Amino acid sequence: MQMNVNEQSLEAQIIALKAENDRLRAAKQGKLSLKVSEKGALSVYGMGKWPVTLYRGQWERLLASKDQIEAFIELNSAQLTTKD
């Protein structure tokens, strides 16, 4: 089946858009970004499919527990999986 000029142009645009989409996704991987939500919470993007969103007090409690969390990870490292 032979494509006309318009179909060829649309096909080329689709290929270019797919390539651009892949490039943008690759650029986002590994980079964290921060945003204040509409309700005043801090959202961290780049950890997974969805942002991690907590309020200021929750972040402060979590950060204050850093040593405890690291010790727990070390103690349970055999049971924990990693995902990049």
Distances (CA, A) of 58 to 4, 10, 30, 79: 59, 49, 24, 26
Is pLDDT of 3 > 80?
A: no
Q: What is the value of pTM for the model shown? A: 0.61
Encode pLDDT of 18-69 as tens digits.
Answer: 988 877 776 666 689 999 999 999 999 988 889 999 999 999 999 999 999 9
What is the mean pLDDT of the segment spanning 8-19? 90
Annotated domain spans of the chain: 1-31, 32-84
Listed ranges 2-6, 11-15, 43-47, 50-54; the one with the highest mean pLDDT: 50-54
Tokens representing residue 62 in the block: 């979590």
Contact yes or no for 20/27 (Cβ under 8 A): no
